[in-house]
Amino acid sequence: MAYSVNTYSVKKWDLGELFPSFASPDLQAAFDNVEEQVLSFEGIRGKLQPDLHADQFLEFVRASESMRRIINRIYVFAALSFAADTQDQIAQTYMARVQQFAATMQNRTLFFSLWWKELDDQNAERLMSSAGDYRYYLEELRHMKPYTLSEPEEKVINLKDVTGASALINLYDSITNRYVFKLEVDGEVKELTRAQLQPYIQGPDPELRARAYQELYRVFGEDGPILGQMYQTLARDWHNENIGMRKFGSPMSVRNVANDIPDEAVNVLLDVTKKNAGIFQRYFKLKARQLGLPSGKLRRYDIYAPLAKSDKAFEFDTAAKMVLESFSGFEPKVGELAQRVFDQDHLDSEVRKGKQGGAFCASINPEDTPYVLMNFTGRARDVATLAHELGHAIHAMLASHHSTFTFHSSLPLAETASTFGEMMLTEKLLAEEPDESVRRDILFKQMDDAFATILRQIYFAIFERDAHAMIQKNASIDDLSAAYLENLKEQFGDSVELSDEFKWEWVSIPHIYHTPFYVYAYAFGQLLVFSLYQQFRAEGDAFKPKYLKILSAGGSEAPAKILGDAGIDIRSAKFWQGGFDVIDKLVGELERL
């Protein structure tokens, strides 16, 4: 057995490894340490000449990494404390302080990256050739050169972001995470957080499902005019800075450049997905028949409905062991790495009021065990979420031999290990389940997830693209809601019955506020993993080193290069279609069952 047997229970994480508390002298010392290092770094300004010696250059890069490492620790400590309780005033104040501090320090050291971007190609190549693991990071900085402004302009943007876009995002989180949802269950009105509402939204009772969804969008819809205004402002800010000043080709290509994914690859992914919407529509018709719905048509409320009457509840310990066993079954080392997250108390699984909803994994510096936040309510879906987030954690840990600048994978590859983790869990469940009806339930869930990560996310990205364009033409919030409903109609065709309150769904999606155009990364990751899993089934053990190599590359090379080495061409429609062929086959099997 690759992992030791412990008993795990739902709990809050322990951030003590970062800093003991906000009051701790260590935290103040960390701030002071950065200031000292920045002060000394400012002294190198005069030494930056084109003929700079390679050793000296490397010393400067290391010095900038050292400052970044401390800021990462401070930043993650504040951000995780805030996520653990978004209503905690101290955490909220620190979050603002750290953002301010990081922007100020970044401004004082900005001259270095600006010099680097301006340096002639020949000398840049000379310096990069001996920069080892920093090479890709340095290359990427230079890729940003066409979109980089002057030093004073960059400084103003950094400072204005702290009190502008970033502040607005913090405010969005504070407002939406304090929502209370009222739902009558068995004659009793319950007051629920969004995470607590989720089991009813995806639960077995059709009437309760509908009411839970209606309550979700009643609450978000009531604030729709405010949340929508925040979105309009963020989209305008995105446009003003990135299109107006930096001259990116389109709002989405800002993300593509940051991801180092060619626009054409993203466009092919979007087009191929749209063409395959019919597979999911076929699935929804099948699901309506299986659920035996009176109207014969799936309502939007029923998309995630379980086929089995009762959604089996999982103890946290069982869930933890299922995930660890499935990881170890694939590769013992992967299970061992995941177990560290539990053993070091880096996992916040408890449901609490004010705690951020959803789930995420935060990696800090290469040698740190990442932190995972989730809201565990005992459903099968939570077990999948646990596998997903631990997948992220092992991805970061497998890349721990890289620098702080290069261990983080680019966003589209960031969903590889997480999605693969879910897949390993599903395979284990299917392999061990003798009951045909439970197996069928698992397969349907897999299709629900494929919908949620592929079609749904790509249509979010399409909505973002449309919404950003509409806001430039002064679209109102109602216009945006109407466009969102149209987007859903195209996505579902005649396979799903939509009700009007779903027009508010877009104001409830944190990603489109936090990280515009992030969402296609999910579809990218899931389709890639379907394709990788096909290879795993065909090649068995021979596949493992190839897969682990993709993960351990982290962000040390271009995604197209990392995948190209594994024989994958992300620019080709054929590659993406391959992922949909797997889904098509799965639906075909379900239709025959």
Interface with Zn ion (CB under 5 A): 418
Least distance from Zn ion to the Cβ atom of residue 399, Å: 16
Least distance from Zn ion to the Cβ atom of residue 359, Å: 8
Least distance from Zn ion to the Cβ atom of residue 389, Å: 7
Neighbours of 260 (CB within 10 A): 20
Least distance from Zn ion to the Cβ atom of residue 457, Å: 11
- Closest of 566, 562, 529 to residue 418, by C-alpha: 529
Nearer to Zn ion, 37 or 526 (CB): 526
Least distance from Zn ion to the Cβ atom of residue 384, Å: 11
Nearer to Zn ion, 366 or 421 (CB): 421
Residue 149 contacts residue 245 (beta carbons within 8 Å): yes
Least distance from Zn ion to the Cβ atom of residue 18, Å: 22
Nearer to Zn ion, 221 or 370 (CB): 370
Nearer to Zn ion, 276 or 418 (CB): 418
Nearer to Zn ion, 239 or 445 (CB): 445
Least distance from Zn ion to the Cβ atom of residue 463, Å: 20
Element (H, E) at 185: strand 181-185
Nearer to Zn ion, 242 or 418 (CB): 418
Least distance from Zn ion to the Cβ atom of residue 429, Å: 20
Nearer to Zn ion, 221 or 412 (CB): 412
Nearer to Zn ion, 38 or 393 (CB): 393
Element (H, E) at 546: helix 543-552
- How many Å apart are CA 491 and CA 487, to the nearest integer? 6
Nearer to Zn ion, 84 or 519 (CB): 519
The residue with its CB nearest to Zn ion is 418
- Name the token pair of 281: 């529509």
- Closest of 302, 298, 299 to residue 289, by C-alpha: 298
- How many Å apart are CA 591 and CA 582, to the nearest integer? 14
Least distance from Zn ion to the Cβ atom of residue 421, Å: 9
Radius of gyration of the chain (CA): 24
Nearer to Zn ion, 395 or 468 (CB): 395
Least distance from Zn ion to the Cβ atom of residue 418, Å: 4
Q: Which residues contact 36 (CB under 8 A, 6 or more apart)?
A: none
Residues comprising the chain, all counted:
593
Q: Is residue 542 classed exposed, middle or buried when 0-12, 13-18 and 19+ CB atoms within 10 A define those classes?
A: exposed
Q: How far is CA 433 from CA 400, 427, 442, 443, 447, in A?
A: 36, 10, 10, 12, 18
Could you write out the three-class secondary structure of 421-460?
Answer: HHHHHHHHHHHHCCCHHHHHHHHHHHHHHHHHHHHHHHHH
Least distance from Zn ion to the Cβ atom of residue 162, Å: 27
Residue 130 contacts residue 54 (beta carbons within 8 Å): yes
- How many Å apart are CA 209 and CA 579, to the nearest integer? 31
- Which amino acid, 249? G
Nearer to Zn ion, 403 or 418 (CB): 418
Nearer to Zn ion, 86 or 418 (CB): 418
Q: Which residues contact 126 (CB under 8 A, 6 or more apart)?
A: 54
Neighbours of 45 (CB within 10 A): 11
State the pairing for strand pair 371-373/347-348: parallel
- How many Å apart are CA 23 and CA 19, to the nearest integer? 9
Residue 327 contacts residue 20 (beta carbons within 8 Å): no
Least distance from Zn ion to the Cβ atom of residue 392, Å: 6
CA dihedral (51, 53, 54, 60) positive or negative: negative
- How many Å apart are CA 540 and CA 560, to the nearest integer? 24
Nearer to Zn ion, 358 or 578 (CB): 358
Least distance from Zn ion to the Cβ atom of residue 415, Å: 5
CA dihedral (473, 478, 484, 490) positive or negative: negative
Q: Which residues contact 174 (CB under 8 A, 6 or more apart)?
A: 86, 87, 92
